[in-house]
Amino acid sequence: MHINRRNVSAVVESSNSKDWSPIPLKHVIQGHLITEALMIPAYLLACWLVGLVIAAASIPFETLFIVVVISALVSAVPNAWILHIFSVRERTDYPSLRYLGLQVVCLICIACLTTMLAARAGLAALMIGLVMGIVNLLINVLLNSKEPLSREEVQQKMEQTRQMTQEVFADEISHVHESQQAKLDEINRKHGIDKLH
């Protein structure tokens, strides 16, 4: 049995937190939708390149774009359910990587079905499904090879990002507020109303 430090940390996390509760499913779905949306360019590029090499797997780029976008976003919901089920069963935010196989099969099926409906192509549907599944698996394995963050660390990173965003855009936000106030003051002057502040 192969044990890596990711699995060990997940076991330690679940045994240390007797009051563990799963991440709400709506957040898991949102995360999968965002991740799949970010993976669309990789799917498109890989499918397009395979279509250039294997003529039987090529479909028009516009159709390919529609197929990839629909397949990626539609597969995000059942794949979020799969991850959620494994997380609840293993009582950890980072379950073992076995769930990735089911997610890939789900994506392949959805991509094949979408391609068959959109392009009426048999071999191209299978190739597009397989390519999307392989790309998804590679990216997920690469992302999951890093040491996972605890919920507290994720919360801290989100807070740091919020603070950095406020600091970076503080001048722009102030400028927008000042220009809005100036416009409001101008409108009030036109109507004979003095400043309200």
CA nearest neighbour of 64 among 50, 40, 48: 48
Domain that includes residue 15, residue range: 5-148
pLDDT value of position 43? 95
Q: What is the pLDDT of residues 21-67, one digit of tens each?
A: 888 888 889 988 999 999 999 999 999 999 899 888 788 889 999 99
- Between CA 38 and CA 69 the distance in angstroms is 10
Residues 77/25, Cβ–Cβ less than 8 Å: no
Phi-psi domain of 45 (left: phi exceeds 0; alpha: psi -120 through 50; beta: other): alpha
Of residues 124, 6, 135, the one with CA closest to residue 61: 124
Domain match, 63 and 113 both: yes
Of 110, 133, 148, which residue constitutes the final position of a domain?
148
> Is residue 52 domain-shared with residue 17, that is, in the same domain?
yes
In the numeric block, the tokens 């991440």 are attached to 23
**What is the pTM (predicted TM-score) of this model?**
0.66
Note whether 189 and 107 are same-domain residues. Answer: no
Domain total in the chain:
2
Residues 95 and 115 in one domain: yes
pLDDT per residue over 121-173, tens digit each? 788 889 999 999 999 999 988 887 677 767 788 788 888 888 888 888 888 88
Q: Are residues 134 and 111 in the same domain?
A: yes
